[in-house]
Amino acid sequence: MRRDIFQAVADPTRRAIIVLIAVQAMTPNAIAEHFDTSRQAVSKHLRILTECELVRQEHKGREIYYRLEIDKMKEIDQWLEQFRKIWIDRFDNLDRLLAQIQGAAS
């Protein structure tokens, strides 16, 4: 079953895992050391991230490393872009309003 990427980033633990592996690939045990949870719980989060194609497994010898799929993160950025434009427009409108208020007060 392929999950939606927004399901993956909705969970704070999965977001924290994404931050960890954004810098370098890590094994599940190395990831689990950063959380007060079981190795099995971390594995479940990694499975969901893998199903969403946000992370990729790399086999190196007997170890499995998880690496962030940065291109997949672009889907989230593209979705947020529509809101970024709205926020910028609103801030620009606020700047103009504040300038008018300051001009009227002078």
Going by pLDDT thresholds of 50, 70 and 90, the confidence category of residue 4 is confident
Per the structure, the complete domain to which residue 57 belongs is given by 1-68
DSSP string, 17-46: HHHHHHHS-B-HHHHHTTSSS-HHHHHHHH
Q: Do residues 81 and 64 both lie within one domain? A: no
What local confidence, expressed as pLDDT, does residue 63 receive?
A: 95
Q: Are residues 58 and 89 in the same domain?
A: no
In this structure, the answer to whether residues 11 and 41 fall within a common structural domain is yes
Count of domains in the chain?
2
pTM, to two decimals: 0.77
Do 85 and 54 lie in one domain? The reply is: no
Whether residue 45 is predicted with pLDDT greater than 80 in this model: the reply is yes
Model pLDDT for residues 55-76, shown as the tens digit of each residue: 999 999 999 999 999 998 898 8
Is 55 strand, coil or helix? strand
Q: Are residues 51 and 101 in the same domain?
A: no
